Amino acid sequence: MHNLSRRDFLSRSSLTTAGLALATVARAIEPFKRPGQPVLRLSLAAYSFRQFFKDGQRAEKGAALARTIDLFQFLDFCADHHCEGAELTSYFFPKETDAAFLHRLRRHAFLRGLAISGTAVGNNFTHPKGEVRDREIALVKLWTDHAAALGSAHVRVFAGQSKTLTKTDAEKNVITALEECCDYAGKRGVFLGLENHDSIGTGENLIRLMKSVQSPWLGVNLDSGNFHTGDPYLDFEQALPYAVNIQLKTEIRRAGALKSETADLPRLVKLMRSANYQGFVALEYESAEDPFTAIPATLQQLKKLFAS
């Protein structure tokens, strides 16, 4: 064995350390490089009718029973209003959902000329190892399977938040859970889209958390209404290069504001085009006006903006 001088040893050690650092950076999530022109495909999120679904978990109470709908009727609404896709939130599936039900939905959507643009779960990945955490991971894996059965390549997920752990410890749990679920999803050709929700707060925090996860099957589910900062448009723009799905809201709320303001939809669409986004843009309607009345007009506005 040749004897190494101290200088040689330190030099080689430095190169090895640098190589490991570069390998780590290479595995970290980077902005998506999309050749060609921007492509904005209009979809509608089932959550827009959250108080009217007769099946599953209602996010809001007080539904008018005379106007309840199911997922098949929601697909018809999307098709009748010329959407390209429909986002089927997991909350509104019947408890007895099985492969046969999923295939019926997929068949119905196909015959109406619709793609299932994605589905969405309400998970919390901040829990430490144990039964609760295992259930949250199992839920995301289950809906990854459901998405594949529906012919969709996207599942919206949350990071979640903890009342007992420090932010650092909670994020460590989120990262390992995301990596496990992304590994599972990637084997089925499904992306997980991490939404800017819960304690994420800003575009900078969202990107930092994304870059901590080592998987090519994670992207951002970018919600235009969930940045409550001084300039939500800036945070939206920062996160756009990482987006695999976009949810557009008709309102935003700035930091310190007492109430929401009308979203500048033309500005949001311009930002998407500038970022060369290619994929689905789902209207997720949460404003006070009756969705049956307000949504058709908003979809028409978005179609015109997408075509211009």
**Tens of pLDDT, residues 1-56:** 344 444 444 444 443 444 434 334 435 678 999 999 999 999 999 999 999 999 87
DSSP helix, strand, coil percent of the chain (3-state; round to 5) = 45, 15, 35
Torsions phi, psi of 45, nearest 5? -85, 135
Burial class (CB in 10 A: 0-12, 13-18, 19+), 232: buried
Of the candidates 182, 140, 257, the residue with the CA atom closest to the CA atom of residue 29 = 182
DSSP SS3 for 253: coil
Percent of the chain clearing pLDDT 90 (strictly above): 84
Burial class (CB in 10 A: 0-12, 13-18, 19+), 203: buried
Q: CB–CB of 273/39 below 8 Å?
A: no
Q: Where are the alpha helices (DSSP H) in 60-98?
A: 71-80
Provide the whole-model pTM.
Answer: 0.88
Q: Looking at this protein, which amino acid is placed at residue 173?
A: N
- CATH among 3.40.190.10, 3.30.365.10, 3.20.20.150, 3.40.50.170 for 39-307: 3.20.20.150
DSSP class of residue 53 equals B
Q: CB–CB of 208/196 below 8 Å?
A: no
Q: Look at the block and give the residue holding tokens 């599942």.
A: 155
- Two tokens at 143? 């809906």
Tens digit of each residue's pLDDT (9 = 90 or more) over 192-249: 999 999 778 899 999 999 999 999 999 999 999 999 999 999 999 999 999 999 999 9
